[in-house]
Amino acid sequence: MKLSSLVQDALYLNWALPAGALPAPPAPLRYQVYGEDAERWIFASALLFRHRGIHLPHLPVVRFSYPQMNLRLYAVDGDGVPCVLFREMLMPWWVGPVVRWVGEQPASTARFRYPRPSRQPAAESWHWRVEQGGTLAVTARRGAPGTGTGPSLGSWAKTVRFFRERSRGYLLSGDRLRRIETEHPSVPVWPLVAEVEEADLLQRSLPLGGAAWPRLHSAWLCPRIPFVFDLRIVPEVELEASLPRAAASTRSTAASAIFRRP
């Protein structure tokens, strides 16, 4: 099933997390690990954005829009294709009835306060806030490209490509591994200087063995991303014992936005 949408004001917050603190991914996925011995890192991102006008290509008149956040880890699938594994998906409570019919994807409800940087590009800074059993609060402003805590991925352009050039996303839906494939054109990227002011939502969603989440590795914003995503089911896999079932929770069900190159 193919759906079309426009993603607006997509905020990318990226971290390098210690590999030893993360649960194993479900087979056949494997994390992309950087570094050696005690300094081994796996990248994660929180994406905060708005869906606008999501619709079936054959039903362009029926559209709806909503804010969303997802938390993802970067991996390679059984075909050797770089992909993302979704750890958490958050969206408003009212989206549920529509997306249960469209997407059949596990998700949780949350409250959102998002700015609109694309409408206020000259603003001194912007503030995002997501609340769901904890809070993620971020303030960001436009700034020079740069990276912080964690390994280098090369130039700024290579760093952006690492996170964005992923055509496949995977999520656990009950006892099934669901694959979502997407397509969309390249878009402008605004480098940001971002500060995470509250992060207990991240600690709840993906605890790091009692350790605090590190400082950000990188951050940027994509003002507009037109894209199409395709929902598919891949064969059922046996879940790893080390992967908590909470990651596949069906506390509420809603459609989710999966990016290829936002």
Q: What is the C-alpha to C-alpha distance for residues 121 and 9, in angstroms, rounded to an integer?
A: 11
Query: For the chain, which residues make up each domain, given as ranges?
Result: 2-253
Indicate the length of the chain as a whole number: 262
Class of domain 2-253 as given by CATH? mainly beta
Separation CA 64–CA 75 (nearest Å): 31
Task: Report the distance separating Cα 238 and Cα 221, nearest Å.
Answer: 36
Cα 243–chain centre separation: 18
pTM over 0.85: no
Count Cβ atoms within 10 A of the Cβ of residue 169 and give its class: 0-12 exposed, 13-18 middle, 19 or more buried.
buried
Residues 6+ apart with CB under 8 A from 210: none
Residue 43 token pair = 């990248």
Coil, strand or helix at 246: helix
Place of tokens 């954005």: 49
> Which residues are registered as beta bridge partners of 46?
13, 71
Report the half-sphere exposure of 247 (CA within 13 A, side-chain side).
Answer: 26
What pLDDT tens digit does each residue of the chain (262 aa) get? Answer: 566 677 899 999 999 999 999 999 999 999 999 987 778 999 999 999 998 766 455 555 555 678 999 999 999 999 999 999 999 989 888 775 555 555 556 678 899 999 999 999 999 999 999 999 999 999 999 999 999 999 999 999 999 999 998 989 998 877 778 888 777 678 899 999 999 999 999 999 999 988 899 999 999 999 998 766 655 545 444 444 444 333 333 332 223 333 333 4
Q: How far apart are CA 82 and CA 259, in angstroms?
A: 13
**DSSP symbol at 20:** G
